[in-house]
Amino acid sequence: MHLVDWLGRAIRHDKRSAISEQQPPLLERLNIKQDELLAYVSVKEKRFIDVMGTENKMQKKTI
């Protein structure tokens, strides 16, 4: 989440806008506790499979 917040605050000529420095951090704005988010993501993470490759290889891997 820190990376997402940091990227959102980055000012670049090819971005339409950026998160203001006056805005609180993302988790604080969303009223999410960091330890609760980590526990939730840790459980959800076990349900997904990471696959890279051609569509044919991905279909074989998920079957």
Summarize pLDDT for 1-50 with one digit per residue, the tens: 688 888 888 988 898 899 898 999 988 998 999 998 888 878 765 666 66
Tokens standing for 54? 């051609």
Q: What is d(CA 20, CA 24) in angstroms, rounded to the nearest whole number?
A: 9
E strand intervals along 1-63: none
Q: What is the pTM of this model?
A: 0.51
- Amino acid identity of 51? V
Helix and strand element counts for the chain (H, E): 4, 0
pLDDT at 24: 93
